Amino acid sequence: MTTADGWSEPAWDGLGGSGAPGEDRPVAGDAPAGDGAAGEARPPASDDVAVGGAAGDGAPVDGTAAGEDLGWPPAPPWVPGGELGLEHRAVEAVVLCAVEPVAPGLLAELLELPVERVERICEDLARDYRAQRRGFLLARVAGGYRYQTDPDLAPFVERFAMEGVSSRLSSAALETLAIVAYKQPVSRAQVSMLRGVNVDGVVRLLVQRGLIAEVGHAPGPGQPVLYGTTPAFLEKLGLDGIDELPAVEDLFPGPDAVEALEARLRPGADGA
């Protein structure tokens, strides 16, 4: 094509250009301005694009939300009384070894499952145990789940718990309890001094029985624990307060009884 001033302009039409004379024109085979080099394979329009998302956004092919597929095998349909799936067995194992009720949030964190799914699993297990009339239940207690015995079986459980346990206190325990009652607040060292023996085991027993409890600390070196009686102690004795305890003097024998005892203990008292 010839311009008005007589210059000949190359025919750019076949090369896809339309600029003014003298401009740099792309040569066939050059990389087009844009995404990739010439001759590069372009992705298909639909096959490799994630369902429900734009190409290249990293969405999974099946449309699952990111982070939802955590590697659990497909859970079988729940059949009461049937074989448990891995999720149900995992919940059982965690709750069984826990000392305190396990919150659903903690179970969800440990099992990497949604909280709603964990609660449904616990409901499935609890319903299954009740239907089978098992000796234990999966109960919702204090905001969590724990295993506990069926209330109908309480007599058998109590019999087992009390096996080999005597409800009566030994003479050593009674002596220690009397010292605490009359000298409270008192430390274990002070009780040991009065009795002349170590009282650690006896004090622990009385604390377990709920008859004495820690009431403070002594101000001296080491700040030893001080013990006193509890409301359960007053209830056992039928007292309204410590001031209703009989006076110590009333517990000692009278002068006549002491004299008779001394006479029996004197050498030759039996005619020997």
Mean pLDDT score across all residues of the chain: 74
Residue 71: what pLDDT?
Answer: 57
Cβ burial, residue 72 (10 Å; 0-12/13-18/19+)? middle
Residue 264: what pLDDT?
Answer: 76
> Which CATH code, of 1.10.10.10, 3.90.1150.220, 3.30.1330.20, 3.40.50.10490, is assigned to 86-158?
1.10.10.10
Q: What is the pTM of this model?
A: 0.39
Render 64-125 in DSSP notation, one character per residue.
Answer: PPTTT--SPPPPPPP-TTS---HHHHHHHHHHHH-SSPBPHHHHHHHHT--HHHHHHHHHHH
Least confident of 68-72, 154-158, 161-165, 226-230: 68-72
Confidence band for 262, pLDDT divided at 50, 70 and 90: confident
Residue 27: what pLDDT?
Answer: 47
List, for residues 118-140, the tens digit of each pLDDT value: 999 999 999 999 998 999 999 88
**Which residues are CB-neighbours of 249 under 8 A, at least 6 positions away?**
none
Q: Any idea what the Cα angle at residue 194 is, between residues 191 and 195, rounded to 5°?
A: 85
Higher-confidence residue of 170 and 39: namely: 170
Confidence band for 80, pLDDT divided at 50, 70 and 90: low
Higher-confidence residue of 5 and 247: namely: 247
Across 59-65, average pLDDT: 40
Q: Any idea what the Cα angle at residue 57 is, between residues 55 and 62, rounded to 5°?
A: 80
**Architecture of the domain delimited by 171-251:** Orthogonal Bundle (1.10)
**Which residues are CB-neighbours of 269 under 8 A, at least 6 positions away?**
263
- How far is the C-alpha of 242 from the C-alpha of 128, rounded, in Å? 52
Confidence band for 166, pLDDT divided at 50, 70 and 90: low
List, for residues 244-256, the tens digit of each pLDDT value: 888 877 666 667 7
| pLDDT exceeds cutoff 80 at 86 | yes
- How far is the C-alpha of 264 from the C-alpha of 90, rounded, in Å? 74
For residue 123, how many other CB atoms are within 10 A of its CB? 13
Residue in the block written with tokens 């990739």: 36
| pLDDT exceeds cutoff 60 at 104 | yes
Residue 12: what pLDDT?
Answer: 44
| pLDDT exceeds cutoff 50 at 16 | no
Residues in the chain: 272
Residue 257: what pLDDT?
Answer: 73
| pLDDT exceeds cutoff 90 at 229 | yes
- Written as six digits, the tokens of 261 are 């005892």
Domain span(s) for CATH 1.10.10.10 in the chain: 86-158, 171-251
Confidence band for 168, pLDDT divided at 50, 70 and 90: confident
Sign of CA dihedral 162, 166, 168, 174: negative
Percent of the chain beyond pLDDT 70?
64
Residue 19: what pLDDT?
Answer: 45
List, for residues 109-118, the tens digit of each pLDDT value: 998 899 999 9
List, for residues 171-224, the tens digit of each pLDDT value: 899 999 999 999 999 999 999 998 999 999 999 999 988 899 999 998 878 889
SS3 215: strand
